[in-house]
């Protein structure tokens, strides 16, 4: 499993993460920022556990994020 | 009877990237301020950005002080931004903000629909009278491309009058130019470098300033590298028009914009104050080279990359900076924070949290309501006893001729070595 973490309030809504994986990221119509699908918020950080097969797309999202707010860690 | 001609003074527009900068602009005599909220403006990455909740307060501060307020909403807008863009414009209208500065047609279109006044951003790259005519369906004020000469700007202004190009208000379209501050190497800011190197689009307000860095050139055959010293070949020097402001006004420009939404309050205060004095001096008939020399001295004390006259006087090639950062002749050093103000005595109390302070120091106080207060420390007291100086940890008092607040910060101005 992989834990994905996003520091959402710093998002500038560039859409790069959605381009990397539209099934994991979505731009909110409310505030124009990226939403981590399935993410649970704790003190401004959103996180979710995902399968290992998402790693490549997560890496692309992380690499392409201009404000470096996406991180992930391998749990097993 | 002599004919009475009503003179409309050129409007001075200052940047407001924070409440401190806003208060500084008010105090220094700006006629209007511009600012951004959320992420659809050209300083998206700035830590100072306001949010939509700040709009009513910004409008209130501006109205109370007789300033116009302009919201910048001038990035590229994609489909996924449209919903946020509309929300921001709805809030802009509800808050009573004077106008929105736009470059994307979607923004102009929606603003017009809901009755928000539009100004056209420099990002729209207006370089001719026919483009002015095109945008006149949407806007009363248009920022000219930064690459135009004053002759070209003057010709556009004359044509606006001759063709009677009017905006939605029914009045002749007014032109605005950049008067002071950072320029970049890209035409009208349309730069791809930052996106290319860091996936961070300058056209979405997320420029990482690649052009401000030093570079090397390499002989690809042999791999020999040459450092390009002396000049940062992509880093444009800062624009300064104060020494030919008379020509700018004579070219028929209606609004002069100072760049710097990412700059601190003291920068906004000094630049706005200098240009306020210069504009007033022009209309009072006492604009002089002696005054220009004084203004340029003062402008050089705050952030700058060296000054040049931009493209206004007919130059075809840019002028580049020879420093990685600022060439300001002074820098501010944090001393401490405001504690209390004794109204009747006109005495401010401060807690020193860093550095030392002594009689004779040049001090600067900044805060979200206070704006900027500059003073020369003539005397001070420590624990209510007269003193020549004070160290970290001390609580000091000294005369300040206007109210200071606990949200204020105290700095010492020191010469840059």
Domain edges within chain B: 11-183+237-308, 189-227, 330-415
How many residues are listed for chain B in this entry? 417
Q: Which residue of A has its CA nearest to B49?
A: A10
CA–CA gap between residue B388 and residue B8 (Å, rounded): 50
Q: What residues contact B132, with CB distance under 8 A and at least 6 apart?
A: B126, B142, B156, B159, B160, B165, B173, B175
Q: Do A14 and B84 touch (CB under 8 A)?
A: no
pLDDT of residue B253: 97
Q: Which residue of B has its CA nearest to A15?
A: B80
CA–CA gap between residue B149 and residue A27 (Å, rounded): 42
Could you give the dihedral angle defined by the CA atoms of residues A46, A52, A56 and A61, in that order, rounded to the nearest 10 degrees? 0
Cβ-contact B125, B187 below 8 angstroms = yes
CA–CA gap between residue B23 and residue B107 (Å, rounded): 28
Question: Which CATH code, of 3.40.50.2000, 3.20.20.70, 3.40.50.2300, 2.40.37.10, is assigned to B11-183+237-308?
Answer: 3.20.20.70
CATH topology of domain A2-74: Alpha-Beta Plaits (3.30.70)
Q: Do A66 and B201 touch (CB under 8 A)?
A: yes
pLDDT of residue B230: 60
Please check whether the domain covering B330-415 is classified as CATH 3.60.21.10. no
Q: Do A12 and B83 touch (CB under 8 A)?
A: no
- Tell me whether strands B139-143 and B174-181 are parallel, antiparallel or unpaired: parallel
Return the residue in A66, A68, A69, A70 with the most chain B beta carbons within 10 A, the one to mutate for interface testing.
Answer: A66
Closest in B44, B78, B84 to A15, CB measured: B78
Closest in A12, A30, A31 to B45, CB measured: A12
Closest in A33, A64, A67 to B45, CB measured: A67
Could you give the dihedral angle defined by the CA atoms of residues B19, B260, B95 and B133, in that order, rounded to the nearest 10 degrees? 170
Cβ-contact A24, A36 below 8 angstroms = yes
Structure token pair of residue A31: 């505030």
Which has the closest alpha carbon to B261: B330, B181, B323, B201?
A: B181
Phi, psi of B85 (to 5 degrees): -55, -45
* pLDDT tens, per residue, chain B with 417 residues: 444 545 589 999 999 999 999 999 999 999 999 999 988 877 776 656 788 999 999 999 999 999 999 999 988 899 999 999 999 999 999 999 999 999 999 999 999 999 999 999 999 999 999 999 999 999 999 999 999 999 999 999 999 999 999 999 999 999 999 999 988 888 877 888 888 888 888 888 888 888 888 878 788 888 887 777 666 777 888 899 999 999 999 999 999 999 998 899 999 999 999 999 999 999 999 999 999 999 999 999 999 988 989 999 987 777 777 776 788 888 889 999 999 999 999 999 999 999 899 999 999 999 999 999 999 999 999 988 999 999 999 999 999 999 999 999 999 999 887
Interface list for chain A against chain B, based on CB atoms closer than 8 Å:
11-16, 18, 27, 29-33, 63-67
- Tell me whether strands A34-36 and A25-27 are parallel, antiparallel or unpaired: antiparallel
* Partner residues linked to B238 by β-bridges: B307
Which has the closest alpha carbon to B380: B363, B355, B366, B365?
A: B363
Structure token pair of residue A69: 């707010």
């Amino acid at each position: 499993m992989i834990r994905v973490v996003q520091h959402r309030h710093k998002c500038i809504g560039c859409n790069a993460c959605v381009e990397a994986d539209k099934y994991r990221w979505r731009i909110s119509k409310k505030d124009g920022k990226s939403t981590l699908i399935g993410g649970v918020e704790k003190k401004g950080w959103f996180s979710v556990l995902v399968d290992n097969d998402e790693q490549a797309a997560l890496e692309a999202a992380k690499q392409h994020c201009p404000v470096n707010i996406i991180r992930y860690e391998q749990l097993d | 009877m002599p004919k009475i001609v009503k003179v409309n003074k050129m409007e001075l527009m200052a940047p407001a990237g924070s409440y401190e900068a806003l208060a500084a602009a008010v105090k220094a005599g700006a006629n209007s301020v511009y600012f951004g909220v959320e992420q659809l403006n050209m300083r998206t990455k700035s830590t100072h950005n306001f949010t939509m909740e700040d709009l009513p307060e910004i409008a209130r501060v501006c109205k109370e002080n007789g300033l116009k307020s302009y919201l910048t909403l001038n990035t590229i807008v994609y489909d996924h931004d449209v919903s946020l863009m509309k929300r921001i414009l709805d809030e802009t209208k509800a808050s009573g903000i004077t106008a929105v500065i736009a470059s994307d047609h979607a923004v102009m279109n929606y603003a017009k629909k809901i009755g928000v006044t539009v100004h056209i951003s420099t990002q729209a790259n207006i370089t001719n009278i026919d483009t002015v005519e095109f945008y006149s369906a949407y806007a009363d004020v248009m920022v000219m491309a930064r690459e135009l000469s004053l002759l070209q700007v003057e010709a556009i202004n004359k044509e606006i009058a001759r063709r009677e190009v009017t905006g939605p208000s029914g009045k002749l379209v007014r032109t605005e130019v950049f008067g002071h501050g950072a320029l970049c190497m890209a035409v009208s800011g349309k730069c791809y470098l930052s996106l290319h190197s860091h996936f961070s689009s300058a056209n979405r307000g997320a420029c990482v300033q690649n052009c401000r860095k030093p570079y090397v050139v390499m002989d690809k055959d042999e791999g020999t590298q040459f450092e390009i010293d002396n000049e940062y070949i992509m880093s444009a020097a800062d624009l300064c028009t104060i020494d030919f402001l008379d020509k700018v006004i004579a070219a028929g420009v209606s609004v002069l914009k100072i760049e710097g939404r990412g700059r601190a309050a003291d920068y906004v205060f000094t630049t706005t104050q200098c240009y306020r004095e210069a504009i007033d001096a022009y209309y009072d008939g006492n604009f002089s080279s002696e005054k220009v020399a004084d203004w340029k001295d003062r402008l050089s004390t705050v952030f700058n990359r060296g000054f040049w006259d931009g493209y206004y006087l007919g130059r075809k090639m840019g002028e580049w900076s020879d420093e990685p950062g600022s060439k300001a002749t002074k820098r501010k050093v944090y001393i401490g924070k405001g504690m209390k103000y004794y109204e009747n005595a006109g005495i401010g109390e401060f807690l020193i949290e860093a550095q030392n302070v002594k009689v004779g120091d040049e001090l600067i106080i900044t805060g979200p309501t206070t704006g900027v207060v500059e003073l020369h420390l003539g005397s001070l007291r420590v624990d209510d006893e007269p003193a020549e100086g004070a160290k970290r940890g001390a609580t000091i008092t000294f005369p300040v001729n206007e109210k200071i607040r606990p949200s204020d910060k105290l700095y010492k101005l020191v010469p840059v070595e």
